[in-house]
Every structure is written in C-alpha cells, then in structure tokens.
Structure 1
C-alpha cells in the first residue's frame, strides 16, 4: 500500500506536536514525575500507539497492521533495554533527578532524528541492493550473540570518545548550573555536564539505531510502517523510565529475550535474502527456494518471548535479590549526594525505598548474599546512609 504525502505530513506534524506538548507541559519546568503521573502518561502514549495501529489495520489491511504491531513491540522492547544504558550514563554524570526528564526527552528527539535518517538510508539501500538483507541479517545475529555475553550493562560507560574529545577541546565545568548547557566560570564561557551528558546519550542513540533499524526492516519493508512504529515506540519512553525505574534491574533475562528476538529476525532476514537472491556466487544468482516466515508468526514469536522473559525475570529469586542489592546501593548513593535533588519529598522517597531494600537484603538467605559485590564497601555505604539520615533528623 502506497501512503500519500498528505498522510506522511499529517503523521510527522502529529508526532512533532506530541513532542512539543511533552516539553512545554512536562519537561520545561524541572521536576521529578510522580509514579501516578508516569503511569497515566505512559498509558496514554501506549494507547495512542494502539489506536494508530488499529487505524493502520483498518485502512491498510491486516498485513500492514500486523507489520506495524510487530515492529512497535520489537522497537519498544529494544527501547526498554536502552533505558539501562541511559540510567548508567545519567548516574555517571550525576544528573540531578529533576533534570533527568530533559535529558531523556533530548535522547528521544535525537534518537528519532537519527533513526529517521537510517530508515530512509536503509530503504534506499534495500530498493537498490537486495543483498542488503544479508547484511542486516548478519548484523542482527552478531548483536544477538553480543547480548548473550556475560558482561552486563554495568560495563557500559558514558566516558566515550566524543566526551573525551569534547573535554580536551572545550572548557568544561564539573558542576551543574541548573539545566543550562553553558555557564560562566572565572569569567569564561564553559560547557556544563548537562551538555556533555546529552552528547553521550546522542552518541549512544546512533549505536542503538544500528541495531534497531535492521530489526524492524526484518519485519516490514514499508517505510511508513518502519517510521511510525519506531516513532511511537520512542514516544512515552521518558515516562516509562520513571515508571519502571525500580524494576529495570529485575529484568535480568531481558537481554536473553532480546537476543532470541533479534536472532529470530536475523534468520528471517537471511531467509528473505535467499528468497530474493541475486548474488552470482549463491545458487548462480538465482533465488533459493526457502520458506519465508510470515508477519503473523513473527508477531506471535516476539510477544511470546517477551512475555516469558518478563515473567521469568519478575518471578526469579535471583532477580529479586539482585534488584534489592542494586537499588539499595543506588538509593544510598543518591541519599548521600547533596546534588541529587533539592526536593524534600524526593529525598524522603529515596530514604523509604532504601529502608525497604535494606530489609529485603537482611532477609536474604546466605546463598543469595554472594550476589553482593565487594560486600565490605557495600555495607559501609549503607552505614554512611544511616549516619547521614541520623544527622538530618537531629537538626
């Protein structure tokens, strides 16, 4: 189905309007979203994506509709995985809690722009060179293999090449000046960490696009579906971050689920490439008679893998233990960091969460305590948090 320019323009304007609304009414004024606010707006954005998908199904047909939903679910799952890295980057730069929304929204906008460029580039390559399906399939299989490696998200670093280069070339500060990107230091104009963290997230978004775009092209080659599924998967990601912030570390099997999905799509792409083959050194340049995986089967596999992965993670005793340990460490560090937030309610929330997690850790059986890395330093951190709380309450 060919999508008219009018539909394209209307869709792009609607997405831009949603992003502008998000900035003006939620992000412009620095604050920490409540759980209720995050839940409501996450539901609204998911609802908009579903309504849009139903419209695609009604006006474009069941094939186009199922391609949209398969692409949306896959990209949403990959976006959740990306939140782990966003969290690490913001923690590395010690971004104040109230300003994390602005950083996330920038990441979403930059990601949408970068992925749109990759989408049209990918579409042009596919239309000109059928062998690109082989390349995309190989990229996804390699990505799936990397996700199965034991090294977790904790090994990711915000100190990438661009950040190091920026610090060498430009005058930078070690402190924030509200949410300003530039400030004055000793009479000289300097870059703040707020700009540096945005550069780090922007660079990371480009790497994410190299994985996500081949994945969705493995489900559909309709450029409109690829663009809208990608765009709607990114919408509401900011709210989702605050909604599942405490659950991110519980999803211990998510990388395995994503590896299975990307591997499955990679195989699907290679099968499609064989079916459309024109490379002279494969079957004499003639198409190979292989089965092709339908979009309906793809959607069923993606949903099934995600449901099993999420349930297994949430019900896993190991996941619960790791989550309590990680969150206790994070909340203790945040409570001890005077720059983390100026909001007394947020500090109270952090302390209450810390106390609950500490109680959960004390209740862990001995065999689960092995998940605590550098236990002496960890326990010392918890003790410092208690000392700080005693000092605050004694005032």
Structure 2
C-alpha cells in the first residue's frame, strides 16, 4: 500500500514538472512573438549610487596591490639603479602626444555642443540631491533620500545647466610631475584645473597659463627613491618668471581650450551628432592616456589627482575621515572618475508629455546625461548602451502594473 502511494506521488510530481516546463516555454514563445524581449538581449543592472559607507571598486585586486608593495619593498632593500620607462622617468611618451591634443580638442567641441543643445532641451536638477533629469517634464520617481528631503522622497526640481550634465572634476596642476606631492599648506597656492585638462598637459600639451617642466634627461630609481641627475633649474629655464602661483581668488580663465566653437549651421541634429562623436572620442582617447599616465582618486569622495601619487591636502569629509586625519584614501582612478557620467532615466518616447512614474521604475532604462541629451536632439546612440536603455522591455500601462509578475 505504501509503495503504491509513493508511485502515485512521484507520478503527480512528474506531471507538474512537465506542465510547468510547457507553460514557461509557451510564455517565452508568447513574449517573443509579441516583441516583449528581443532575441539574445542581455540586460545589465542599472548603475546604483554608492552608499556613504561604501568604497569605490578597485581597479586592481588586493592581491595585486600586495604583490606590488612587496616588490617595492625589495627594491628599497637592494641598492640598485633601475632604469624607468616613459612616463615614469619624467619623459613624454611621443606616441601619446597627438592623442592628448585629440582629447583636448574633443573636450572643447563637446562643451560647445552641449551648450548649444541645452538651449533647446530642458535640463532639471534636484535642489537637495544630485539627481538630474533631461527633458520635460521631470520624472516622479521617488529616490530623493538625503537629509532635509521630503517625507515622500520626491525631488524638488529646478532648472539646471551644462554643469549638471557634464560636471567638472578638478585636480591640482603639477609643475613637476615627478616632484613631491602638494602639501596641505600649499593647497591655496597651487592652481586647480579640470582633471582631463591636467591629464592632457602631463601627456604633452603645452599651455602658457599652466607651465610644466619638460625633462630632457630621465630620472632613475635607486633603492626605491627617485634620483634626478638633471639640474633643478637648467640654464635655459628662467627662475620662475613664467610660473604664477595663485589660488581660487585669482583663478585664470582657461581661454584657449575652453572657448566655444562657432558652428556654421543651425541644425540641432547635426550638432548633437558631432557632440556624441566628441563624447565618445574624449572618453576613448582619454582611457588610452590613462594606460600610461596614472591618476588617483579617493575611494570615498570625488577628489582626483593626476600624477604618480596623490596629494597630501587634508580636505576629505567622507566616511571615517577622522580616522585618516582628513587625508584621502587614494586608489587608482579610471576614466569615469575624471569624466564622470551622470546617469539619468531614459525616456523611449521623447514626445510624451507624461512624466515617468515611480511604480514603473523597474521597467525604465538609464543613460549618461550627455548621451540622453544628444539622443533627444536626434543623435544615434551607440550599441554599447543598448543593455542600459532597456529598449526591448515593454513598459506596461498603469492599469496593467498589478497584472505583471
């Protein structure tokens, strides 16, 4: 009797399994026939903001960092002269000098295109948090969770500008890239310029308002220390006549690389297409420079220092800054730290007059604010953003939300 019951239970389980497989197969075929999901589509997780206590992901793993630290310790113990390669020895990488000029030209063209398109397409920013929305009307997704925000977590929108779509991350300008780091007492005496501009200057772009030392004799590493056999002030260089140390109260304008490019046409679509190309070129060529010219960023805040080492200015106000005496937790930076993409909610139908709803936020995609701005102006979006846009996901109507599992 017990054996018969066991056989009947196993038979019922087999029937249930077969029916569930057939049901899932039918649903998949139905979704494919109605175009809910495209074949072979791969959705990536939407970028989330880091919590206050979370650290930025490391470029290298802890094991690699420990291995490099052990090698440096061995170099200090052994008194040997090590020949360094450019740019670690203070010389320029000749093959990357044209790349640096391309990055600076792409940045100037990008700023001009963004300013032109922003005059026609509205940009909104929240007064309390860093949320940005491109297009009218702004969304109603309740993600404003900062001290002083509303209990409903709704955003308090105000009109934004280019600085919200394309924020500027500044870095201390170094006259000598291989020299000592900027100390805390020198924080007001050293000029701060955009980090992407500082990267181009160190890679070979010469600017009169931001002079830098170009070596003709390489430096060497002896017992883990940098030794410079070149004179500190060569005869062909003046003793600081062209070097101006000034702070934020006397900041010079970056005239020749921030000047706007005048377009000979008023076609918004063409301007957006050129801006999209400039955005991709600046990030792609900038990542090439960062393969050789190292930059550092704080693991908890947005501070960036372009160069082989971070500065020693104690102005970090992030998580557990008291334990570090205000110093930054330096780690290797990426192109996203120097040119941060501000992600905004992507709207599929640009002509819709209804804002995005909070209950449907799981069906919406995201795009960098610059890409979304140019896409609204008619520029073509690159295929690498397809997984973020979620174009192949059908957004249900408000009366269909309860029916979606």
Give your verdict on TM over 0.5.
no
Give the TM-score of the pair, scaled to structure 1.
0.27
Higher percent of residues as helix? 1
Give the TM-score of the pair, scaled to structure 2.
0.26
Structure (1 or 2) with the larger CA radius of gyration: 2
Higher percent of residues as strand? 2
